[in-house]
């Protein structure tokens, strides 16, 4: 079945030159950008709609009416106002990923700005998973809190919300996840899916929802948000939005990220500045693509493997870092955290600067390195499991079962399975002495895996009259079952009882069988064929006029003919070296036009080394290769420890040079 469906295809857009020229003239943009917009069908070619896409209305930044139902918003703001005025302790329960962490930081910093007493905590992913946690509810009650606010979670946490109510705590849910048929009985749900019909807020990240709720609270207090503070919050919104891969076709997300990237690049906040410096040293100006590669993995790492009981820093350390410089804070706090965790991980190099912010940023970076090590251990086992458990010719979803794999990092390995086989992938892992199995799912862009997993859960409930996705946690009042499913169209996670695995898998494959075959197709949508002389910094500058790029508005792919590939070097961790190694190389033009002036470009091809080694045996030196690529700025490390910016080709695929490597697609 999948031999033809998963064939990597090159599709080259074909547009009438007159249409491209007219569109470019009307918008006063480069014809190449006109091709990008027309090929992507932005605004369906309507000039006014495209202008609104390129320069969204500034009022969208501070708009908040409609982020949820009017009743929910009023109840939520009323309750926060009462808590601040009565000096109640407010507990923030964030989800332990970059979106939940940045959303929690927004709520903590903003409410503290208004004078509130706020604390924050996150689930331990290895033992608790995601969502609103009874443990945090117990802690909040013990400390005298009567209000819990969630960040990027809670919409499906029906049992946990009910538990909070029995303990005398109100819950305000700040979340962006799609609602199920049955919803939690929270005091207020700040979730745009509480509004019927279209809403621009439905495309926001969890951090974006937290920001919008905070705007409503500031409005109630009649407090003007200072420009520097808004810029800081928008920087956090951007980190959450990029990490959660929210749609960048939506004008509201685009304007938030445009302002947020400015905030990241120009921040004077001690913690955010330190995180940027250690994640992306040498970058003059980060773009959304750079953020997803450099900062986001470091934000996610503590949440993936953190465990306070084992002395491993968890998501709280990231909030500690991001709060530095955002208001009053104890300068000794950062030093204390560093001393506590430096005994767990050995930093690769001595931290030369004394800034507390840099020390905490280094801890976050070190946890990221630890996470990489843990994933490599899982990867060593995966191939044998694939041989024994997967039918690559028939299975519409790759399902691999392991044992005692760290639940905080299996999502990374699931991602790699999806990339490797170009179809949805799932990893299930059981644990010694535990009756519950963890699951992580990733999908290809054309298949909404959340809907698939949710449909299985609803079908199971109709048949068995009990929840499929749940786990058990200990509370001060004994063990309790809580919800254990959440995610998005491209990624989700769950926990189920081991006895339910057989029926779950049967129902899963039945649900996947309903997906039309064409949705499994994978193709590279190529904007244009370029000449070698067109490559360079000027092209990158031109393309950045359409930024930000991201989910559903990816960086344009281009086609380059008859290239020479030389100075090849393979690289990657143990997984890549043995299975899908990457390659660094140099690209030059075989035709050597006079206009090229001997130019060459450093290039990278992720997971392309084996394919190149196979192809080069059949390609004549005077023929060369055709490549498809995105062009980007890259920071090259130097011997003195500093980084130098260069233009690099990120090559997505290679083929022997030919006149018919691409299918023409009329756009």
pLDDT tens figures, 381-435: 787 888 889 998 899 999 999 988 877 678 878 988 888 888 999 999 998 989 9
Determine the pLDDT at residue 195: 95
Q: Which residues contact 324 (CB under 8 A, 6 or more apart)?
A: 269, 270, 271, 274, 334, 356, 357, 360
- Enter the tokens of residue 124: 């331990």
Distance CA 481, CA 159 (A): 7
Distance CA 226, CA 242 (A): 24
Range of the domain at 435: 382-519
Dihedral (Cα; 506, 507, 512, 513), 10-degree rounding: 70
List residues bridging with 494 in a β-sheet: 439, 485
Distance CA 524, CA 665 (A): 11
Beta strand extents in 590-624 (DSSP E only): 601-605
Which of 73-82, 139-148, 609-618 bottoms out in mean pLDDT, i.e. has the lowest? 609-618
**Bigger pLDDT: 424 vs 665:** 424
Distance CA 182, CA 393 (A): 38
Distance CA 61, CA 583 (A): 41
220 assigned to some structural domain? yes
Q: How would you classify the pairing of strands 582-589 and 491-497?
A: unpaired
Residues 469 and 552 in one domain: no
Q: Which residues contact 636 (CB under 8 A, 6 or more apart)?
A: 602, 643, 644, 645, 646
Distance CA 563, CA 596 (A): 13
Residues 43 and 77 in one domain: no
Per-residue confidence band for 345, with pLDDT thresholds at 50, 70 and 90: very low
313 assigned to some structural domain? no
Residues 488 and 584 in one domain: no
Q: How would you classify the pairing of strands 170-174 and 485-487?
A: unpaired
| Sign of the four-CA dihedral 187, 242, 47, 18 | negative
Per-residue confidence band for 55, with pLDDT thresholds at 50, 70 and 90: very high
Q: What angle do CA 629, 634, 637 make, to 5 degrees?
A: 135
Alpha helix stretches (DSSP H) within 268-355: 270-279, 288-305, 316-323, 331-342
Closest C-alpha to 239, from 198, 267, 201: 267
Residues 548 and 504 in one domain: no
Distance CA 260, CA 279 (A): 17
- The segment with the largest mean pLDDT, out of 6-20, 397-411, 446-460, 472-486, is 446-460
Determine the pLDDT at residue 309: 80
Q: Using the 8-state DSSP alphabet, how is residue 93 labeled?
A: E
81 assigned to some structural domain? yes
Residues 501 and 532 in one domain: no
CA distances from 580 to 110, 319, 572, 577 (A): 45, 35, 9, 6
Residues 633 and 557 in one domain: yes
State yes or no: pLDDT of 328 exceeds 50: no
Distance CA 626, CA 653 (A): 9
- Enter the tokens of residue 634: 């890259």
Average of pLDDT values for 432-458? 91
Residues 421 and 491 in one domain: yes
Q: List strands edge to edge, sheet with 188-190.
A: 117-121, 89-94, 147-151, 170-174, 188-190
Distance CA 626, CA 563 (A): 6
- 523: part of which helix (H) or strand (E)? strand 523-530
416 assigned to some structural domain? yes
CATH code: domain of residue 638: 2.40.50.460
Please give the mean pLDDT across all residues of the chain: 86
Burial label for 614, CB within 10 Å (0-12, 13-18, 19+), is exposed
Which of 237-246, 382-391, 540-549, 587-596 bottoms out in mean pLDDT, i.e. has the lowest? 587-596
297 assigned to some structural domain? no
Closest C-alpha to 297, from 280, 311, 316, 319: 280
Determine the pLDDT at residue 305: 75
Query: Helix or strand or coil: residue 2?
Result: helix
CA distances from 533 to 62, 530, 596, 599 (A): 44, 8, 5, 8
How far apart are the two ends of the chain, measured CA to CA in Å? 28
Residues 100 and 123 in one domain: yes
Distance CA 463, CA 458 (A): 9
Q: Which residues contact 77 (CB under 8 A, 6 or more apart)?
A: 213, 216, 217, 220
Distance CA 556, CA 137 (A): 46
Question: Hunting for tokens 């843990």 — which residue is that?
Answer: 374
- Enter the tokens of residue 206: 């969890």
Q: Report how many domains make up the chain.
A: 3
Average of pLDDT values for 489-503? 92
Q: What is the pLDDT of residues 106-152, one digit of tens each?
A: 999 999 999 999 999 999 887 787 899 999 999 999 999 999 999 99
288 assigned to some structural domain? no
State yes or no: pLDDT of 247 exceeds 50: yes
Distance CA 164, CA 186 (A): 9
Phi, psi of 404 (to 5 degrees): 60, 30
Q: Which of 519, 551, 586 is the last residue of a domain?
A: 519
Q: Which of 475, 492, 519 is the last residue of a domain?
A: 519
CATH code: domain of residue 93: 3.90.1640.30
Q: How would you classify the pairing of strands 9-14 and 663-666?
A: parallel
504 assigned to some structural domain? yes
Which of 28-37, 214-223, 377-386, 601-610 bottoms out in mean pLDDT, i.e. has the lowest? 377-386
Per-residue confidence band for 575, with pLDDT thresholds at 50, 70 and 90: very low
List residues bridging with 554 in a β-sheet: none
CB-based burial, 185-221: b 16+ in 10 Å, e otherwise = ebbbbbbbbbbeeebbbbbbbbbbbbbbbbbbbbebe
Q: Using the 8-state DSSP alphabet, how is residue 325 labeled?
A: T
Residues 225 and 192 in one domain: yes
280 assigned to some structural domain? no
State yes or no: pLDDT of 8 exceeds 70: no
Question: Measured in whole angstroms, how far is the alpha carbon of residue 114 from the centre of its chain?
Answer: 30
Residues 508 and 551 in one domain: no
CATH code: domain of residue 491: 3.10.310.30
Alpha helix stretches (DSSP H) within 437-562: 449-464, 501-512, 537-543
Q: Are 414 and 423 in contact (CB under 8 A)?
A: no
Distance CA 339, CA 336 (A): 5
- Enter the tokens of residue 522: 């994978």
Residues 73 and 47 in one domain: no
Question: Hunting for tokens 């030059």 — which residue is that?
Answer: 588
Residues 565 and 512 in one domain: no
Q: Which of 259, 288, 308 is the last residue of a domain?
A: 259
Determine the pLDDT at residue 155: 92
């Amino acid at each position: 079945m999948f031999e033809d469906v998963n064939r990597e295809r090159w599709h080259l857009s074909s547009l009438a030159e007159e249409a491209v020229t007219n569109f470019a003239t009307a918008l006063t943009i480069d014809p190449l950008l006109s091709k990008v917009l027309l090929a992507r069908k932005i605004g369906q070619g309507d000039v006014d709609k495209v202008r609104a896409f390129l320069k969204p209305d500034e009022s969208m930044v501070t708009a908040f009416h409609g982020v949820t139902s009017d009743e929910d918003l009023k109840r939520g703001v009323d309750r926060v106002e009462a808590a601040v005025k009565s000096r109640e302790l407010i507990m923030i329960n964030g989800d332990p990923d970059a979106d939940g962490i940045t959303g929690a930081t927004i709520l903590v910093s903003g409410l503290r700005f208004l004078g509130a007493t706020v604390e924050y905590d996150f689930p331990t992913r290895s033992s608790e998973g995601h969502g609103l946690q009874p443990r945090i509810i117990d802690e909040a009650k013990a400390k005298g809190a009567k209000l819990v606010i969630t960040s990027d979670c809670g919409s499906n946490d029906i049992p946990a919300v009910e538990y909070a109510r029995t303990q005398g705590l109100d819950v305000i849910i700040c979340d962006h996840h799609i609602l199920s048929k049955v919803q939690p009985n929270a005091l207020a749900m700040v979730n745009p899916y509480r509004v019927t019909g279209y809403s621009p807020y439905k495309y926001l990240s969890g951090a974006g929802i937290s920001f919008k709720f905070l705007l409503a609270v500031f409005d109630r207090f009649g407090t003007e948000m200072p420009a520097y503070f808004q810029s800081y919050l928008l920087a956090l919104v951007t980190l959450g939005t990029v990490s959660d891969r929210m749609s960048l076709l939506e004008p509201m997300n685009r304007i938030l990220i445009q302002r947020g990237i400015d905030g990241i690049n120009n921040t004077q906040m001690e913690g955010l500045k330190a995180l940027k410096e250690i994640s992306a040293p040498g970058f003059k100006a980060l773009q959304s693509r750079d953020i997803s590669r450099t900062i986001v993995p470091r934000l996610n790492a503590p949440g993936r493997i953190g465990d306070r009981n084992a002395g491993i820093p968890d998501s709280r350390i990231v909030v500690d870092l991001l709060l530095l410089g955002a208001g009053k804070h104890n300068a000794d706090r950062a030093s204390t955290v560093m001393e506590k965790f430096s005994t767990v991980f050995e930093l690769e190099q001595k931290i030369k600067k004394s800034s507390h912010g840099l020390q905490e940023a280094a801890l976050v970076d070190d946890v990221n390195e630890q996470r990489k090590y843990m994933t490599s251990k899982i990867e060593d086992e995966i191939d044998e499991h694939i041989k024994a458990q997967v039918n690559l010719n028939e299975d519409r979803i790759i399902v691999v079962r392991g044992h005692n794999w760290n639940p905080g990092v299996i999502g990374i390995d699931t991602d790699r399975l999806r990339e490797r086989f170009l179809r949805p992938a799932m990893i299930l892992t059981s644990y010694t002495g535990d009756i519950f199995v963890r699951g992580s799912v990733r999908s290809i862009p054309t298949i909404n895996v959340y809907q698939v997993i949710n449909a299985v859960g609803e079908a199971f409930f109709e048949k068995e009259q009990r929840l499929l996705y749940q786990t058990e946690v200990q509370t001060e009042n004994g063990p309790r079952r809580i919800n254990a499913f959440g995610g998005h169209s491209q990624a989700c996670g769950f926990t189920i009882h081991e006895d339910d695995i057989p029926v779950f898998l049967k129902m899963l494959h039945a649900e996947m069988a309903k997906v039309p075959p064409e949705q499994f197709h994978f193709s590279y949508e190529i904007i244009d064929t370029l000449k070698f002389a067109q490559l360079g910094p000027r092209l990158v500058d031109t393309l950045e006029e359409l930024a930000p790029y991201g989910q559903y508005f990816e960086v344009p792919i281009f086609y380059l003919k008859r290239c020479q590939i030389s100075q090849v070097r393979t690289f990657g961790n143990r997984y890549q070296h043995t299975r899908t190694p990457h390659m660094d190389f140099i690209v030059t033009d075989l035709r050597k036009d006079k206009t090229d002036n001997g130019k060459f470009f450093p290039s990278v091809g992720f997971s392309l080394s084996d394919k190149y080694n196979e192809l080069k045996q059949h390609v004549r030196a005077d023929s060369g290769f055709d490549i498809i690529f995105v062009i980007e700025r890259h920071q090259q490390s130097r011997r003195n420890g500093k980084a130098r910016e260069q233009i690099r080709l990120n090559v997505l695929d290679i083929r022997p040079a030919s006149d018919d490597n691409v299918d023409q697609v009329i756009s």
